[in-house]
Amino acid sequence: MKLYNALSQAIEPFAPHGDTVTVYVCGITPYDTTHLGHAFTYATFDVLIRYLEYRGYPVRYVQNVTDIDDDILRKARAVGEDWLALGNRWTAHFIEDLQTLNMRPPEHYPRATEVIAEIVGTVQQLLDLGVAYESGGSVYYQVERWPDFGKLSHLPSGEMLPIANERGNNPDDPHKRNPLDFVLWQAAAPDEPTWDSPWGAGRPGWHIECSTMSSRFLGQTIDIHGGGADLIFPHHECEIAQAEPLINNRSQPERPFSRFWLHTAMVHHEGEKMSKSLGNLVMARDLLKSWSADALRLYLNRTHYRQVWSYDQAELEQAAALAQKLTEAVTATGGTGAALDPAPAQTAYNEALDQDLDTPAAQRVLAQLADEILTAAPAGPGLGPAQAALRQMSAVFGLRLDAAGPEARVIEGWNKHIRRFTAG
């Protein structure tokens, strides 16, 4: 299998560095509902993980919840709701949407506030290494102490600050030595939740949350780190800057934080990127009122994950038609003649997904095999092997076809996670 690695900006052969593929995908900041852009990202990584399992790899998957963040606190103040209750409510909504869409649950689904002690320890280690500094009760990462800053985003230094400012950086913070330095631990502010630390009461910065959770649940070096393309800079760049000094302290040869970095392209609507700030969102939950989960799953992966695409109802209708065709094919009645051979389709399917997860090509293979089954059915050949293969390949896309509801492991796994956000 080959995957595009944002670190090298090239398609590279992929193999895990251990017996199990380790995958970390940045999760939601829960202050609103699941829009199509979210669904696209998590559907893409669901297909990747399911395909790795289909090819025989065990996978250990972590997705986080950024449950303490400036956006959550702003939204909670705006609507007059407790920040924790707000985050719990929207996280539960998000889980329900992923469950309905039959997305495989992660083994671990940590929230940032559950690993505060680990975050404080990580910040102290960065201070001890001399790549961070304390000022005014906050702790900052000093980007000038990390010569490789920018190796993931490949941005010229002059473009970094404007992009960081658009994505939450405060260049006017008087406690910073450099406007691009980023917060590891934020000093307490009025009416905000805080936790104790050696530097005084405060809360963690955004970037330190993810690198800490990844290391806590998957180890220092992981196979695949993913998310939307808007996370490449500054979020994923900062994660590398935090993690790799700790990983490589007195270690030779140097080891990466993540061996592969995968990112999904942005989804557009009405001519612009779909975003909460623009108010041009298409909600997954709304679409599921009119379309089947299978139709939406096929629609989400009609386009290659690195290609920008726009919401188009006509294409959703085509995805629904394909879902119907696949269901008809796996339920068609065959005869007792020589069995229809699925091997060519299986080979083509594997070749498609082995080439940087080419889901459009893989869907064409599914459609062709379904056509062959439906064409052959009246002539009397045995359909069992071809139908079994079609079911297996469709399952990689999370499709249920003629089955009722999500898989048992999807229901049980997400139910285990959702209880932590709905209890009491």
Could you read off the pLDDT of 231-285 as tens digits, one per residue? 999 999 999 999 999 999 755 568 999 999 999 999 999 888 888 777 789 999 9
Q: Is residue 325 part of a domain?
A: no
In the prediction, which pLDDT does 337 show? Answer: 80
Rg (CA), the chain: 23
Q: Is residue 335 part of a domain?
A: no
In the prediction, which pLDDT does 278 show? Answer: 76
Q: Label residue 293 by pLDDT band (50, 70, 90).
A: very high
Q: Label residue 345 by pLDDT band (50, 70, 90).
A: very high
Q: What percent of the chain has pLDDT over 70?
A: 99
The sheet carrying 267-269 orders its strands as 272-273, 267-269, 309-310
**Angstrom distances, CA of residue 367 to CA of 49, 182, 318:** 22, 49, 11
**Mean pLDDT of the region 12-23:** 97
**Mean pLDDT of the region 188-216:** 97
In the prediction, which pLDDT does 251 show? Answer: 55
**Mean pLDDT of the region 164-191:** 97
In the prediction, which pLDDT does 364 show? Answer: 99
In the prediction, which pLDDT does 291 show? Answer: 98
Q: Is residue 67 part of a domain?
A: yes
Q: Label residue 224 by pLDDT band (50, 70, 90).
A: very high
Q: Is the pLDDT of residue 379 over 90?
A: no
**Burial code of 205-238, b = ≥16 C-beta within 10 A, e = fewer?**
bbbbbbbbbbbbbbeebbbbbbbbbbbbbbbbbb
The sheet carrying 138-141 orders its strands as 132-135, 138-141, 182-187, 202-204
Q: What is the mean pLDDT of the chain?
A: 96
Q: Is residue 375 part of a domain?
A: no
Q: How many CB atoms lie within 10 A of CB 415?
A: 13
**Mean pLDDT of the region 212-239:** 98
CA 351 to chain centre: 23
**Mean pLDDT of the region 316-324:** 99
Q: Is residue 131 part of a domain?
A: yes
Question: Which class for 270: exposed (0-12), middle (13-18), buried (19 or more C-beta within 10 A)?
Answer: exposed
Domain total of the chain:
1
Q: Label residue 21 by pLDDT band (50, 70, 90).
A: very high
Report yes or no: 169 and 159 within 8 Å, Cβ to Cβ.
Answer: no
Q: Is residue 354 part of a domain?
A: no
**Mean pLDDT of the region 282-303:** 97
Q: Which CATH number do you get for residue 85?
A: 3.40.50.620
Query: What pTM was computed for the model?
Result: 0.96
Q: Output the CA angle 291-296-301, nearest 5 degrees.
A: 160
Closest C-alpha to 148, from 259, 241, 249, 242:
241
Q: Is residue 169 part of a domain?
A: yes
Domain limits at 86?
2-268+416-421
CA pair distance 52, 75, nearest whole angstrom: 38
Q: Is residue 366 part of a domain?
A: no
Beta partners for 172? none
Q: What percent of the chain has pLDDT over 90?
A: 92
In the prediction, which pLDDT does 252 show? Answer: 56
